[in-house]
Amino acid sequence: MNNKIYKRILKEVSYILNGNLTIRQIASILNVSKSTVHKDLHERLYYIDKETFKKVNIVLKKHLENRHINGGNATKIKYEKIRKGMISC
């Protein structure tokens, strides 16, 4: 595996385990696509370190379970701002 990819995967693992960041946030920080981060954490990490892969997988499952709640809150905030006249539709 390319050394550059290996270092990127280690950064991604650090961000997700220590910072509890989402795939989207990590992709933004590292200037790569969400697909790249997902592939790194779901496929490549498994071959590097299986124990770390299991830890990361637990965090990703937790994010998946909370996704609908976060989306609902974002919509609620958006419409509150519209109602207050802070933004227009």
Q: What is the pLDDT of residues 23-50, one digit of tens each?
A: 999 999 999 999 999 999 999 999 999 9
Task: Give the distance, in angstroms, between the CA of residue 46 and the centroid of all CA atoms in the same chain.
Answer: 17
Q: Which of these, 31, 33, 40, lies nearest to 10 by C-alpha position?
A: 40
pLDDT at 89: 64
Query: Would you say 16 and 56 are in contact if contact means Cβ atoms under 8 Å apart?
Result: yes
Q: How far apart are CA 76 and CA 81, in angstroms?
A: 9
Average pLDDT of the chain is 89
Q: How far apart are CA 70 and CA 65, in angstroms?
A: 10
